Chains A and B, each alone.
Chain A
Amino acid sequence: MKSIQLSQVTKSFGVHDVIRPLDLEIEAGQFTVFVGPSGCGKSTLLRLIAGLEETTAGQIDIGGRDVTRLPPVDRDVAMVFQSYALYPHMSVGENIAFGLKIAGMPKAERVAKARETAATLKLEGLFDRKPKALSGGQRQRVAIGRAIVKNPSIFLFDEPLSNLDAELRVQMRQELVRLHQEVKATMIYVTHDQVEAMTMAEKIVVLRAGEIEQVGSPLELYENPRNMFVAGFIGSPKMNFLKGQVVACDNEAREISLDAFEGRKIQVSAKRGVGPLAVGQSVKVGVRPQHFQVDPDGPLSVTTSTIEALGNLTYLYADMGSDQLLCVETRGPGFRVGDALRLSVNPAEALIFDETGLRV
């Protein structure tokens, strides 16, 4: 169990900056998830920590020791790859024991350790099989076993579940969380799937274009996103963003007229505000689908264009012009395409962003 500290870490390939100077602290024993769209640099950041890529500038400390120039093997880390990277010519046992073999452990000892590891992952019966003869879930387990057997202080996971089917993914998610509770190691997990991030992480790091957008617990990010990007990225279905102008604001409430609704006005509580606001300023109001109510007296009138009935929940979609769809979460049946509805917004839950996308 070791902490990780990144100070001004930078990575460029040629003239292309993949990681901008970046600071980050990961506490010992924490389950941290790096999340972001593809190309945001999250995998590169993981590989920098693993030592598979060299930093262009900056310093990486693991457990208080500068490891910036150390090879992976001296960093006390183990990594699970997206493709699993099982050696195709080696059996399950040999795959698990390969790291120990390289470290010079005698054969009897490393086979015993590999067997023990295989047993904890319910792989005993497959010990002598080649990876080709395994199912996706089994391969995934072998890849994890290969990491566990080294007993590292830090586990690094690079989108390890993206090749599994949906059901197996949910199951493996829980197994990984359990694994974290058992081995009590520091874990970093990279994914582009915000559901994985929300369900597994103790701390989420949202990345975009090589920069950290926000760091926090899943609920912190959900409740208090720092900007439109985080607000839109975390939560499903996505938060709705409505363009408008500030009509009035004081310490209690803010009144916004919305462009897509003929200037109809809505009230937003000032309690969730984090910055100054001026009358006449252009803003965007962020409202999650569940924070609309179908309300005959509501100020916003829409016509439903699509309905997704999931049983417990129903999502209504309405055209707002310019290719934008408004998503509203409701309960119960009784909605039909083409219904004209009136909506109101829960003033305590709506968020306001300025023109640069920053929360205000």
Chain B
Amino acid sequence: MNTRKPADQLMRAVLWLFAILTVAPFALLVLTSLKSREDLLAGAFVLPARPHFENYVSAWVDGLFGTYFLNSVIVVVPVIVLSVVLGTLCGFAFAFLKLPGKPLLFGMLLVGMMVPTEAFIIPLYYEFRWLGLINTYWALILPQVGMSIPFVTLFMTSAMRQLPKDLVDAAVADGASPFRVLRYVIVPLLGPAASTMTLFLFIWTWNEFMIPLILVQDDARRTLPIGMLFFQGKYTIDIPILTAGAVITLLPIIIVYFFFQRKFIQGLTAGAVK
């Protein structure tokens, strides 16, 4: 396409300007996180005399972001593993096996995809109180797995249906039981689907707000977004440390996003169009 026309060049410049404005808050965040509180008074866009990395130490240790970070990791890993394993087993049955009341089971899962967390957070809170699991990792992990299962199941079902049907037939003709078909033939071919799901589950769980907000009140169990919310309440004015905490919260996502952005964007938009 011809990009040498002046009009096109102007458009290009405007597009880049808006793109930079879009990510400017993140750049500002990093800049501010390296300032001292005195530097702040000089203006938001002024470079500090020297980078104050000690803000990160303060956030990590005094601001408890170290604890929050660890909690986020402790929650994200089992959520991904459990959701992918359970969703794959479930998706396999939906894709290839006979089940009693299959349409009903499928409809049941669809309900969970459409109803937002906010609609059932009150009973969920009382359920976990009744189970005695408020302020535990279980409270953060189990509902997240439950909410992820419909997505993973549907995604895996459609990924499996896209595999050549003959492969499954060949394995059946070779005498493989359903579980062995799954284990030896389907699972080795699901790598791309499973990695896409892993990315999504990582980001959904890392970013989750409602569940940790309601089901955990103990600072020692808070995940990063909630920790940040309460940090803000405690020290409203300590902007450098707050922004350092924000960078700690966002950095894992930014790193993953930079490495897998194509997969991310394609997955999220294609998933949406389906």
Contact = CB atoms under 8 A, between A and B. Distances in A.
Give the contact-size bracket for chain B: 10 to 19
Nearest to B163: A88
Give chain B's interface secondary structure class: helix
Given A73-B173, A102-B180, A82 B166 contact: yes
B166 A98 contact: no
Contacts of B176: 98, 102
A89 B180 contact: no
B185 to A, nearest CB: 6
Contact of A73 (B174, B184, B185): B174
Contacts of B184: 87, 98
B173 A87 contact: no
A81 B169 CA distance: 9
Give chain A's interface secondary structure class: loop
Nearest to A104: B175
Contacts of B170: 79, 81, 85, 87, 146
A79 B173 contact: yes
A72 interface: yes
B210 interface: no
Contact of B172 (A52, A78, A82): A52
Given A89-B188, A89-B189, A83 B175 contact: no
Contacts, number: 56
Given A81-B166, A83-B164, A98-B184, A88 B172 contact: no
Contacts of B188: 87, 89
B167 A85 contact: yes
B169 to A, nearest CB: 5
Contacts of A52: 169, 172-173
Contacts of A81: 166, 169-170
Contacts of B173: 50-52, 72-73, 77-79, 99
A15 interface: no
B175 A85 contact: no
B171 interface: yes
Contacts of B174: 73, 98-99, 102, 146, 150
Contacts of B169: 47, 52, 79, 81, 85
Give the contact-size bracket for chain A: 20 to 34
A86 to B, nearest CB: 8
Interface string B143-168: 00000000000000000000010110
A103 B185 CA distance: 16
Nearest to B187: A89
A103 B175 contact: yes
A103 B176 CA distance: 8
Interface in A30-75: 47, 50-52, 71-73
B189 A88 contact: yes
Nearest to A80: B170
A189 to B, nearest CB: 16
Contacts of A87: 167, 170-171, 184-185, 188
Interface string A104-132: 00000000000000000000000000000
Contacts of A88: 189
A88 B186 CA distance: 11
Contacts of B175: 71-73, 99, 102-103
Contact of A85 (B166, B180, B189): B166
A89 B189 CA distance: 7
Interface in B183-229: 184-185, 188-189
10 contacts: A52-B169, A73-B172, A73-B173, A81-B169, A84-B166, A87-B184, A89-B189, A98-B176, A99-B174, A102-B174
Given A81-B169, A87-B184, 13 more contacts: A50-B173, A71-B175, A72-B173, A72-B175, A73-B173, A73-B175, A79-B170, A81-B170, A87-B171, A87-B185, A87-B188, A102-B175, A102-B176
Interface of A: 47, 50-52, 71-73, 77-79, 81-85, 87-89, 98-99, 102-103, 146, 150
